[in-house]
């Protein structure tokens, strides 16, 4: 199935300390008091909900299927959207993710996909690292969760490797991802 699609380069991929720590933080950090709630694609027809602090900047999607962007003060970024709930659409989204990373980052290393469960939703994720064009090390997380409305929620995290505060805030936001 789609989960077994290799997200990493063909060379052997080692488990990253970052991957384990971010995954643990993402799934275990209690959700803090949040000022804002995002219902995607709209409050009237939400596929998923996210809570985020008022200190983060939200850029809405231009149309359904586009990413909603949340940006922290120090550069941590989260992206959310839904895709069609088919295996074809999921495989295309995974390939788009691989292409994006290959185009915009060097030294990309991704973990193997790992099954996860969050707020009753079963999905999978991969984490990794890369280097941006300015030479900065960046950490990534990509996750996909089939949703009750038949779509698949896609989540992206990217932040500078030395942005511990942004990673902690992003983990709390990611932990709030849920079906309505």
Residues with Cβ within 8 Å of 180's Cβ and at least 6 positions away in sequence, in order, are 39, 46, 47, 48, 49
Q: Within a domain: residue 166?
A: yes
Does residue 135 fall inside a structural domain? yes
Domain that holds residue 125: 2-141+158-175
Q: Is residue 26 part of a domain?
A: yes
Give the phi and the psi of residue 4 in degrees, each rounded to 5: -85, 0
Place of tokens 């997200």: 7
The number of distinct structural domains making up the chain is 1
Q: Is 67 helix (H, G, I), strand (E, B) or coil?
A: coil
Tell me what percent of the residues of the chain surpass a pLDDT of 90: 77
Q: Are 155 and 143 in contact (CB under 8 A)?
A: yes
146 is a domain residue: no
Q: Residue 9: which pLDDT band, with cuts at 50, 70 and 90?
A: very low
Mean pLDDT on 112-138:
97
**Residue 153 belongs to some domain of the structure:** no
How far CA 81 is from CA of 12, 144, 168, 180, in Å, comes to 30, 10, 21, 15
pTM of the model: 0.80
Residue with tokens 């292409």: 99
- Residue 153's pLDDT is 98
pLDDT tens by residue, 75-102? 999 999 999 999 999 999 999 999 999 9
pLDDT at 65: 84
């Amino acid at each position: 199935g789609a989960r077994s699609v290799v997200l990493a380069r063909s060379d052997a991929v080692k488990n990253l300390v970052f991957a384990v720590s971010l995954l643990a933080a993402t799934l275990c950090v209690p959700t803090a008091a949040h000022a804002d709630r995002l219902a995607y694609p709209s409050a009237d027809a939400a596929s998923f909900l996210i809570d985020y602090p008022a200190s983060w900047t939200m850029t809405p999607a231009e149309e359904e299927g586009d990413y909603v962007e949340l940006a922290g003060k120090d550069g941590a970024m989260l992206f959310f959207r839904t895709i069609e709930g088919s295996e074809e659409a999921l495989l295309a989204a995974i390939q788009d993710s691989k292409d994006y990373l290959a185009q915009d980052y060097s030294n990309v290393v991704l973990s193997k996909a790992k099954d996860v469960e969050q707020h009753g939703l079963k999905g999978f994720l991969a984490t990794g690292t890369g280097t941006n064009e300015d030479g900065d090390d960046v950490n990534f997380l990509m996750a996909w969760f089939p949703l009750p409305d038949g779509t698949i929620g896609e989540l992206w995290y990217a932040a500078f490797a030395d942005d511990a505060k942004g990673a902690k805030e992003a983990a709390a936001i990611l932990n709030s991802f849920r079906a309505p």
